[in-house]
Structure 1
Amino acid sequence: MRKHILIADTSKVSRYVLENYLSEKFNVASVSSISEALDISNEIKPDLVIMSYELKDGNAFQFCESLKEKNLNIPLVIITSNKEEISKYDAYEYGIIEFLDRDKIDESIVDIVDEIINLYSNINLSDSYIVAVDDSITQLKFIENVLQQTNAKYKLFSDPKKFLMEIEKQIPDICIIDIFMDEIDGIELTKAIRKNKKLVNTRIVIQTGSRESSLIRTLIVFGADDYLLKPYSPEELLLKIINNVKIKKINDELDEINKELFLKATTDPLTKLYNRRFILEQLNILIANFNRYLTPFAVIILDLDHFKHINDTYGHDVGDDVLVHFSSILRATLRKTDIIGRFGGEEFLCLIPNISNESIATVVSKILSNVRSYKIKSNNETITFTVSIGCCIFNKNYKTSNEIIKCADEMLYMAKNNGRNRAYLKIDDDIIEIT
């Protein structure tokens, strides 16, 4: 589809030259006044406006203000001559994105216009959130004019302290931060952001007027991802925003992929508990902590009683349901800091860190009680089940994970041999039966 270009210029010659070059590739409308330009902008919303500074009934800045009043975000380019003294910075504040030299317009204008339109028309940042922090209201206004072209959600802060207070309310994709501010400078702000684990993927773009390589290195060392050398054009800012949003989204996607891979590698697909490999790794970590800090922990092995009978009587689907429900009982009974895993088949392994000898008996007794009172409905039948438990408290007599698991296994064997639906707990040399 051909893009629409609006040319607004009091010079007939200039309009003719621009139309001549652009009309082969674009739909071109040509006017000489603000009122005409506004009428066309309302009617077709052009993809780009190329205009002279002076128009019949006003100037380019007034046209920019009129567009804003009508909530029309249209890229604007000014054509100027050497005789005209127009502040680029003032123009950027009003939302002008580029300058073209009237005396140098030739066939290359087609490629220039094409690049500008492609840049602005392909922006899709509606799902992005961008924050700018600068104690200069003028600079914030300039940034806002660019952000309005992107459809991104954004928030502007002139007070760095207020920014730090509010940043966790909505995690930004990008923070554009000025390096020199009275309250908190950009480096200190960057450090504060990087200390927050929730903001690990948030991109930090620092504005600086210094080209000193040592300063740039310092910014990167403390966590900045990119920088803008002031003064910069709206196009430069826009490109930085687009590129950094892309990187942020890619990093977010990689995080999600890594989380999924971690879950697949560490969890049992049926019960969603940790798998055998992961829980043994955690056991070795607990042993290392005990050897270094004497941090107490218990190892519990649990085995569902007569599970084969459940499978044979009700079918494997019901057997799977029993395993899933039993997993839920363990989650509900144990603490969030406890580590619960499926060890294999109907056997489960729980690691209970920071537990006293007195408390572990209460924990085991509670598991037995909660399992006994649990009922599963299946095909109009009520199914109940019980569990046998073996538990050992780790001490200096154990050297490896195999030794402590062997102890818990022996306690489990005692529970099975003495009627099931009970637990045996070993603390040092004492063995306690819990029924």
Structure 2
Amino acid sequence: MSARILVVDDVPANVKLLEARLSAEYFDVMTASNGTEALALASRAECDIILLDVMMPDMDGFEVCRRLKTDPATHHIPVVMVTALDSPADRNRGLEAGADDFLTKPVSDVVLIARVRSLTRLKMMTDELRMRAITSLEIGMQAPERSAVADTGRGGRILLVDDRQSSYERLATILAAEHTIDVEPNPTEALFHAAEGNYDLLIVSLDLNNFDGLRLCSQARSLERTRHVPILAIADPENSTRLLRGLEIGVNDYLLRPIDKTELLARARTQIRRRRYTDHLRDNVQNSIEMAITDALTGLHNRRYMESHLATLADQASTRGKPLALMILDIDYFKSINDNYGHDAGDDVLREFAVRVRKSIRGIDLACRYGGEEFVIVMPETDLHVAGMVAERLRRSIAGEPFAVHKGTKRIEVTISIGLTTLEQKGEAVADVLKRADTALYRAKHDGRNRVVSQAA
């Protein structure tokens, strides 16, 4: 797995040592000798992970990390502090600054490479989401970076899986100061609990009695509903080798007993912040997809979606030997509504029209705004007779009750004309079906509007 690693250290020998270790694993290594240079490289998006020394002359690593994590352009880049400092206070200061991990020199090659690979996977996943979310910005959605920087990581929902009572009682008490905690002492029930609980973080003990904690972590990664929930593993010091294996299968972070209270809280906040950020990115991607196929004013599908989906529905109807009905609806004299009452009133009519359409059709039917005041409804497994009844019911729904406009201060009469046809010839082009429905609509308008006209295949 290739990634660009930025090594920041003012001691050339340290830089050369890390560069050699990482290059041997086929990582692309960049270097910086001070904090200012590191910040400049990171701001140009030239690195995937930063290995950061603490003791530097111009700006120490804590300050560099803090600036990286408070800048919307760089906060998503994983930072690992690699330093000779080994006190709990230094470790916690680094984690509070936003570091993803804090490794004490001399660092084992195995530990270093395992951590870099784990964070590389995470960074690449985040980068993919960020690239997809660029479309969201182009259609006016808010970028999540600033809210991510401001997020404290507190107020999360955490599931703690631990079958040692003395252990889980202490951990739950610590975590409850900042989060909502559920404890699951039965590991066989933990996966079900995790899937149903909508958690921000799973904390899993790897020292469970008669149960493999790593298998639980692996199962959580393979299950759709827990795949993206971060996992913080906890183990006794003699199980450090299994922790490295955990990083390979998707564990996000780990702690060795005895657990330091401040470090536990700091690591939990880091994982919860990252979870919220990636969730926001996924939401933006999903919303942009929905907006690409949905008409913003009415909430119905748009013409692009209709044209692609109609072909699928027509193929299914032909294959199964089932009828497919299609109607084109046009709001009568819609231009006069805009001219006499204003475009705001026209928008009110279109929104209410969409509501009445939804109430008149089935869930399997496809309703789309075709353009302007024209709409298309596609009805699978529906013959011309039944479709005619639905069309007439919809026509009466529109004409039977005036439309409220201008926040209900005025009510206006609205009618529609409907052209209706069906796909009954196997393999018929959908363009021909649309043209036939449009011809029927023209006849309805020519014959006086506010009516349904059917035209058989």
* TM-score where L is the length of structure 2: 0.58
Offset from partner CA, 1:331-357 (integer Å, 9 cap, x none):
222233332221111101122334455
**More strand by percentage:** 1
Give the Cα separation in 1 of the matches to 2:316 and 2:245.
42
Residue 415 of structure 1: aligned partner: 444
Q: Does 1:390 align with 2:366?
A: no
Residue 266 of structure 1: aligned partner: 293
Paired residues of 1:125 and 1:152 also in contact (CA < 8 A) = no
Give the Cα separation in 1 of the matches to 2:230 and 2:318.
41
Match of 1:143 among 171, 177, 181: 171
- Name which of structure 1's ranges 233-242 and 127-136 shifts more when overlaid on structure 2: 233-242
- Change over 3 Å in CA distance of 1:381–1:213 after alignment to 2: closer
Give the Cα separation in 1 of the matches to 2:224 and 2:300.
29
Equivalent position amino acid for 2:155 in 1: D
Paired residues of 1:305 and 1:387 also in contact (CA < 8 A) = yes
Q: Does 1:113 align with 2:89?
A: yes
Q: Which has the higher contact order (CA 8 A, sep 6+)?
A: 2
Q: Secondary structure at the match of 1:211?
A: helix
Give the Cα separation in 1 of the matches to 2:328 and 2:432.
13
Instruction: Give identity over the alignment, percent.
Output: 25
Look at both structures and tell me which one has the larger radius of gyration over its CA atoms.
1
Q: Secondary structure at the match of 1:176?
A: strand
Match of 1:405 among 429, 434, 439: 434
Q: Does 1:133 align with 2:157?
A: no
Q: Does 1:226 align with 2:252?
A: yes
Q: Secondary structure at the match of 1:424?
A: strand
1:421 Cα shift?
1.5
- Change over 3 Å in CA distance of 1:214–1:247 after alignment to 2: closer
Q: What are the within-5 Å matches in structure 2 for residues 309-348 of structure 1?
A: 309-348=336-375
Match of 1:244 among 258, 271, 280: 271
Offset from partner CA, 1:129-159 (integer Å, 9 cap, x none):
111112232432353254246x122111102
- Change over 3 Å in CA distance of 1:236–1:284 after alignment to 2: farther
- Change over 3 Å in CA distance of 1:339–1:181 after alignment to 2: farther
1:322 Cα shift?
1.7
Give the Cα separation in 2 of the matches to 1:204 and 1:294.
51
Give the Cα separation in 2 of the matches to 1:207 and 1:292.
56
What is the RMSD computed on CA atoms of the aligned residues? 3.7
Give the Cα separation in 2 of the matches to 1:306 and 1:426.
23
- Name which of structure 1's ranges 413-422 and 179-188 shifts more when overlaid on structure 2: 179-188
Equivalent position amino acid for 1:275 in 2: N
- Name which of structure 1's ranges 228-237 and 342-351 shifts more when overlaid on structure 2: 228-237
Give the Cα separation in 2 of the matches to 1:388 and 1:294.
29
Gaps of at least 5 residues in structure 1 are 1-107, 430-435
Equivalent position amino acid for 2:448 in 1: G
Offset from partner CA, 1:81-119 (integer Å, 9 cap, x none):
xxxxxxxxxxxxxxxxxxxxxxxxxxx79x863553564
Q: Secondary structure at the match of 2:241?
A: coil
Give the Cα separation in 2 of the matches to 1:321 and 1:118.
55
Paired residues of 1:301 and 1:391 also in contact (CA < 8 A) = yes
Q: What are the within-5 Å matches in structure 2 for residues 154-165 of structure 1?
A: 154-160=181-187, 162-163=189-190
Equivalent position amino acid for 1:130 in 2: I
Offset from partner CA, 1:248-272 (integer Å, 9 cap, x none):
1111110222233234322223223
